[in-house]
Structure 1
Amino acid sequence: MSAASAHRERPRSDVVRHPHRWLLHGARPLCRWIIRRRYDVRVIHPERFPSHGPVVVAGNHVGVIDGPLMAIFAPRPVHALTKIEMFKGALGGLLTAAGQIPLDRTAADPGAVRAGIRVLRDGGAVGVFPEGTRGSGEMVSFQRGAAYLALTTGATVVPLTFIGSREPGGSLNSLPRRRARIDIVVGQPVPVTAVPWPRRVSQVAALADDLHQQMQSGLKDALAETGRSLPGPLPSGEPHE
Structure 2
Amino acid sequence: MVSALLSYIGSKLRNNGKARASASDLLWSFCGMFAAVMALGIMNLHVRSWPVVGEWHQQGLGLLLGSFGTLCVLIFGRPEAEAVRVWNLLAGHVIATATVLTLLHVLGPSVFSRSLAMAAMITAMLATDSVHPPGGALVLMAVDSAAIQRMDWWFMLYPSLAVTIAVLLPLGIAVNWLKRNVKFDFPADATSAPTSTSASPPLVPLVMPTPPPSPPSTPGLRPKLA
Determine if the TM-score, normalized by the shorter chain, exceeds 0.5. Answer: no
TM-score (normalised: structure 1): 0.23
Instruction: Select the structure that is richer in helix.
Output: 2
TM-score (normalised: structure 2): 0.24
